Amino acid sequence: MIRTLSMLCLLSLVITHAPLASAEDLKADISIRVIYAVKTKAKSMDPALEDIKAELLALPFDKFRLLDRLQTVVPINSSVELQFPGDRSISVRFLGLDVSGDKDMLSLQLSVKPKLNMRLRVADGGRTLLGGPAHQDGILFLDITAKMTDEKKASNVLQPAGNRALEVNKHKSKDK
């Protein structure tokens, strides 16, 4: 009994003194590839796109070329902007981390200037391919990858009082 109480006391000391990250410490590693796709008679794939070759070949285009790439770390509630051809740009804002479901999901705000504005949820370490605006004889695709940079597990993230649930949402949905 005394041994059990001693172990519980020791365990509680370790847990209460473990370093915890605050929501303000959250950072996302965001990677954006701008891909030019066009219909031609000859098939062609940029070697830099080999990792998503199967996904691109399922699209109704024959030629794929990587035009630009951005990789950066974005703190919570901050954004990065990438200029790409045609006087256009994409802005990505990291809104927070949702840990309420089976997978941790990064919440992003995407703005492709001048027209598109959308919210996007990407699984931690996941990616998505979005059709973008027309460009020359083809279309631009945006390949977006996002993952948390913080080495601490999401369950160790505290939600400061008064912050919105998007920053760190740890509540399980009752609908499941």
pLDDT in tens, the chain (176 residues): 444 333 333 333 333 333 334 456 789 999 999 999 999 988 999 999 999 999 999 999 999 999 988 888 999 999 888 777 667 788 889 999 888 888 889 999 988 876 788 898 999 999 999 988 888 899 999 999 999 985 444 444 433 333 333 444 444 444 44
With contact defined as beta carbons under 8 Å apart, do 138 and 38 qualify?
yes
Q: Is residue 119 part of a domain?
A: yes
Per-residue pLDDT at 41: 87
With contact defined as beta carbons under 8 Å apart, do 159 and 168 qualify?
yes
Q: Is residue 105 part of a domain?
A: yes
Q: Is residue 54 part of a domain?
A: yes
With contact defined as beta carbons under 8 Å apart, do 98 and 36 qualify?
no
Q: Scan for tokens 């460009």, then name that residue.
A: 135
Per-residue pLDDT at 38: 96
Q: Which domain holds residue 109?
A: 23-153+164-169
Q: Is residue 158 part of a domain?
A: no
Per-residue pLDDT at 150: 58
Q: Is residue 17 part of a domain?
A: no
Q: Is residue 10 part of a domain?
A: no
Q: Is residue 144 part of a domain?
A: yes
Q: Is residue 7 part of a domain?
A: no
C-alpha–C-alpha distance, residues 112 and 132, integer Å:
8
- Residue 175: C-alpha distances to residues 103, 106, 154, 171, 172 (Å): 16, 21, 22, 12, 9
C-alpha–C-alpha distance, residues 24 and 38, integer Å:
42
With contact defined as beta carbons under 8 Å apart, do 129 and 141 qualify?
yes
Provide the CB-side half-sphere exposure for 34 (13 A, CA): 22
C-alpha–C-alpha distance, residues 28 and 9, integer Å:
36
Phi, psi (deg, nearest 5) at residue 104: -70, 130
Q: Please give the tally of structural domains in the chain.
A: 1
- Residue 142: C-alpha distances to residues 2, 59, 117, 132, 166 (Å): 61, 14, 14, 6, 24
Per-residue pLDDT at 85: 67
